[in-house]
Amino acid sequence: MQHKLIVFDWDGTLMDSEARIVACMQGAIADLDMPERSEDEIRNIIGLGLRESVAMLFRGLSETDYLALVDRYRYHFLIGDQTPSLMFDGAVPLLMKLLDKGHFLAVATGKGRVGLDKVLDETNLKSVFHSTKCADETFSKPHPQMLLDIMHELGVDAKETLMIGDTEYDMQMANTAGTLAMAVSYGVHSKQRLLDCQPLFCVDSMNELAECLLG
């Protein structure tokens, strides 16, 4: 597969951060004595921006309560929670090989800028990516703006761009932006849910992803 630009989702695609996101959101909810939400309910919103995630978990929430919940979530994610978040095995070598082959690499994530910069610093991967876009800088997935902004910044057409992600939000964003899409089933959304979005491929492991991208 030859693509000038490869755009990765972060959580559930490059980093195994599901457990930490769930723990941080449940911790934030408990801090404010709000109604509990299950692991599955929280897993379902991974990939969306915080505002969209909270709106899905708590419909009709006031702005005051929304801001309080976001504040507690950010506290747990940035400071309070120590649940490990590691890169998927093989992710870093894959990124380095793609970089060596001359691809533009980018990230389009539901994370906020502070959260993404934190994990990029922790993994020493900031210099690997030519562009990164976050949900608090533009529209959240599945809106295509993050992808459109990345392509515009790097001067790459949609037909030369591949979006890789683990949620239907990634696939829908790619479809609307007119790029190709590849799904990974080892993240948060089920394989059938991803296949329903008609990606170019759906792979079940990082090894399969590497085989498709590197040949």
Among the options 11, 16, 166, 170, which is catalytic? 11
Question: Given 9, 16, 81, 166, which residue is catalytic?
Answer: 9
Could you confirm whether 9 is annotated as catalytic? yes
For residues 99-120, give the mean pLDDT: 94
pLDDT at 80: 79
For 70-84, the pLDDT digits (tens) are 999 999 988 877 787
Whole-number pLDDT of residue 79: 86
Q: What is the mean pLDDT of residues 147-168?
A: 97
CA distance 162 to 122: 26
Which pLDDT value is given to residue 77? 86
Bridge partners of 164, per DSSP, are 8, 182
Q: What is the dihedral of CA 41, 69, 166, 149, to 10 degrees?
A: 150
The residue-averaged pLDDT of 120-126 equals 94
Which pLDDT value is given to residue 1?
57
Q: Is the pLDDT of residue 66 over 90?
A: yes
Average pLDDT for residues 1-21, to the nearest whole number? Answer: 92
Domains and CATH numbers, the chain: 5-16+87-214 (3.40.50.1000), 18-80 (1.10.150)
pLDDT at 85 over 90: no
Average pLDDT over residues 87-107: 97
Predicted confidence at residue 12, as pLDDT, reads: 94
Task: Encode pLDDT of 165-209 as tens digits.
Answer: 999 999 999 999 999 999 999 999 999 999 999 999 999 999 999
- pLDDT score at 187: 94
Q: Please tell me the pTM assigned to this model.
A: 0.91
- For the segment 5-25, the average pLDDT, to the nearest whole number, is 94
Residue 21 has pLDDT above 70, yes or no: yes
